[in-house]
Structure 1
Amino acid sequence: MSDFTSNFWSVFVTTLTLVAIVACALLLWMAGRRKVVAHADNTTGHLWDVDLAEMNNPLPRWWVWLFLMTLLFGLAYLAAFPGLGSFAGRLGWSMQGEYEAEMAKARANLEPLYARFASMTPEQVAADPQAHAMGERLFMNNCAQCHGSDARGSKGFPDLTDADWLHGGTPEKIRETLTQGRIGNMAPLAAAVGTPEDVRNLSHYVLSLSGSPHDSLRASLGKPKFVTCAACHGMDGKGNQALGAPNLTDDIWLHGWGEATIAEMINNGKVNQMPAQEHKLTEAQIGVLSAYVWGLSNKPGAAR
């Protein structure tokens, strides 16, 4: 890791670049000063393919000046723009700055398109055909990679078309999730639960809460161990949206179901993250997108 915290590579790149430019200039100077003894026919005596002779002509002046101008341009460019290691350049240009300027311009151009939705409620936005089309495009560009083009999710990625919400399914909560992102964290609990047999028994009790196939005897033995889980999921297992703890009494399994899967969750825990969108999308875009996502599970009439 020391390679990434020291300035060695910055100095290395700077030195290599400048040495290469100086070496090119030196090569040109040496080639111009060297005198080659020529024969009477102005050749050097070198032959290729029997009769292809090398002439002893000087470098064309236009080529020499063009070469020098190229070297000077290179030095001027390296002084003005980043190129010499960590030196930022005299003009202060950067890819980050260029990106931010382009994004600011794009957002300014988009504002008029979203202006009329600012005074509408999320429910009205979700029912508006134009807003629905715009929200759909935003979803396909920013959300479909994880939740799928049909928004039904996959293993580890929530289905957005049902009524099961980890952090709440109101338009305000969805907007908060899109803006700030979410980090779901279930700690490993095997040590608190007990032996591997206790973990198996608890897994069957968790399965029993949703009526999933389970061993009733193991479930009865695992019920007392559920107190370890109740701090987040509640004694009734219905979850806690304030903590992002899922409801264990329905038949919706984000990471899969079955004894082995639930035991793995208890033993190893799980961390999930949804990235924040506030740096990618404007506030108006997030408003339209959150209304669209809300509409996926609430089916507003005009949008359908």
Structure 2
Amino acid sequence: MSDFFNIGWSYFIAVISIAGVIFCLWLLLSQRKNKVALNPDGSVSDTGHEWDGLRELNNPLPSWWMWMFLLSIIFGVGYWILYPGIGSYAGSLGYTSAKEHNESVLKANTELKPFYEKYMALDVPNLAKDPQAKQIGQRLYLNYCAQCHGSDAGGGKGFPTLSDKDWLYGGEPDHIKTTLINGRQGNMPAFKTILSSTDINHVANYVRSLSGLPSNPIKRSLGEVVFKNNCIGCHGAEGKGNILVGAPNLTDKIWLYGGSEATITETLLNGRNGKMPAHQEILTPEKIHLLTAFVWGLSQ
């Protein structure tokens, strides 16, 4: 609760929590033995409910039960003091689940460091051939990469396939490792305010023709001029892309978002912003080295 961004919510939760405990305490005290009405002869009165010959008596709560209830309230108040539980109050111990998680990860990494270090001495091509290293790399991949790239590394719309030799930022071991460490931020600019809809339609036809897809010959010819004036800065004069900026090769029939005329038109109109998250704060250098070898090996 300590990460609530609005202080009003913190006060609201604190008031509800404290009021709940006060109500429980009042309810407990109201049911003490001397608060329960007895009959003139000293017997316990009933509540007026009877079913099948059974009367519901208004007995006072047992002392042991009341003490247990009271101790649970005291425990709850003590928990509030030590741990976060009342709105944004962080607790006197400074505990957070994130801190506990980070400490457990640090401990595990420290204990496993000697095991992983033996793989750091191997370069990526040789590491990719090691059966045990490959198994470890596969597990790392399934934990950290499969959510986007698929368990078979086949990718999906907006997520590149890792099992072919088409790489946005380069497929050499150093390129892959840099991608894992620092992440990537793709940026295909939107042209809807720069080019007319007619020009965009012409470019879409020309782009399709670069990879041998059917296109209108007249539109293709006109689109080539527009492409050379607006697109070669990233994709190159021949449309083969540029790994320095992550511009894809447009001539190999491999499409990140799809190669239909409608999809290419959508890309030109609105642009694309694909992001590969950085893993340097998530994985140790040893794990990144193993994961690099596994990913590199997928395309070899």
Kept in 2: contact 1:179–1:278 (CA 8 A)? yes
Write the distance in 2 (CA, Å) between the matches of 1:29 and 1:144: 57
**Deviation of residue 54 (structure 1)?**
4.2
Structure 2 vs 1, CA of residues 21 and 217 (structure 1 numbering), >3 Å: closer, same or farther? same
Cα distance change of structure 1 residues 41 and 149 upon mapping to structure 2, 3 Å threshold: same
Q: Secondary structure at the match of 2:274?
A: strand
Structure 2 match to 1:40 = 41
Matched, 1:266 2:268: yes
SS in 2 for 1:263: helix
Aligned-partner Cα distance in 1 for 2:129–2:59: 80
CA contact (8 A) 1:38 1:56 kept: no
| Preserved CA contact (<8 Å) 1:180 1:276 | yes
Match of 1:105 among 92, 104, 107: 107
Greater Cα offset, 284-293 or 14-23: 14-23
Displacement, 1:57?
4.4
Residue 8 of structure 2: aligned partner: 8
Partner deviation per Cα, 1:120-148 (whole Å, 9 max, x = no partner) = 11111112111111111211222222222
| Residue-by-residue CA offset, 1:14-70 (whole Å, 9 max, x unaligned) | 111112212222222232242513143713143412632344644322222212111
Query: Could you tell me which amino acid in structure 2 is paired with residue 157 of structure 1?
Result: F
- Within-5 A mapping of 1:129-140: 129-140=131-142
2:209 corresponds in structure 1 to: 208
- Give the paired residue count: 294
> Is 2:154–2:162's contact at 8 Å kept on the other side of the alignment?
yes
Give percent identity, aligned residues only: 43
Distance in 1 separating the partners of 2:157 and 2:80 = 50
Secondary structure of 2:185 counterpart: strand
Q: Which residue of 1 aligns with 2:290?
A: 288
Please list the CA deviations of residues 236-260 of structure 1 after superposition, one character each: whole Å capped at 9, or x if unmatched. 2121111101111222111111322
2:8 is matched by which residue type in structure 1? Answer: F
Distance 1:70 1:232, change over 3 A: same
Task: List runs of 5+ in structure 1 lacking aligned partners.
Answer: 299-304
Deviations 1:262-295 (A, max 9, x none): 1111111111112222233221111001011111
AA at the equivalent of 2:11: V
What are the superposed Cα offsets for residues 142-180 of structure 1, whole Å, 9 maximum, x if unpaired? 222222222122232211121111111111110111122
Q: Give SS of 1:53's match.
A: strand
Which position in structure 2 is the counterpart of 1:250?
252
Q: Structure 2: which 5+ runs fail to align?
A: none
Q: Which residue of structure 1 lines up, in the alignment, with residue 152 of structure 2?
A: 150
Give the 3 Å change call, closer, same or farther, for CA 173–240 of structure 1 in structure 2: same
CA contact (8 A) 2:36 2:59 kept: no
Quick one: which amino acid aligns to residue 19 of structure 1?
Answer: A
In structure 2, do the counterparts of structure 1 residues 50 and 296 end up closer, same or farther at CA, with 3 Å as the change threshold? Answer: closer
1:1-304 to structure 2, matched below 5 A, reads: 5-32=5-32, 33-40=34-41, 42-45=43-46, 46-49=48-51, 51-55=53-57, 57-193=59-195, 195-226=196-227, 227-298=229-300
Q: Distance in 2 between matches of 1:47 and 1:162?
A: 77
**How far apart, in 2, do the equivalents of 1:59 and 1:267 lie?**
73
What letter corresponds to residue 200 of structure 1 in structure 2? N
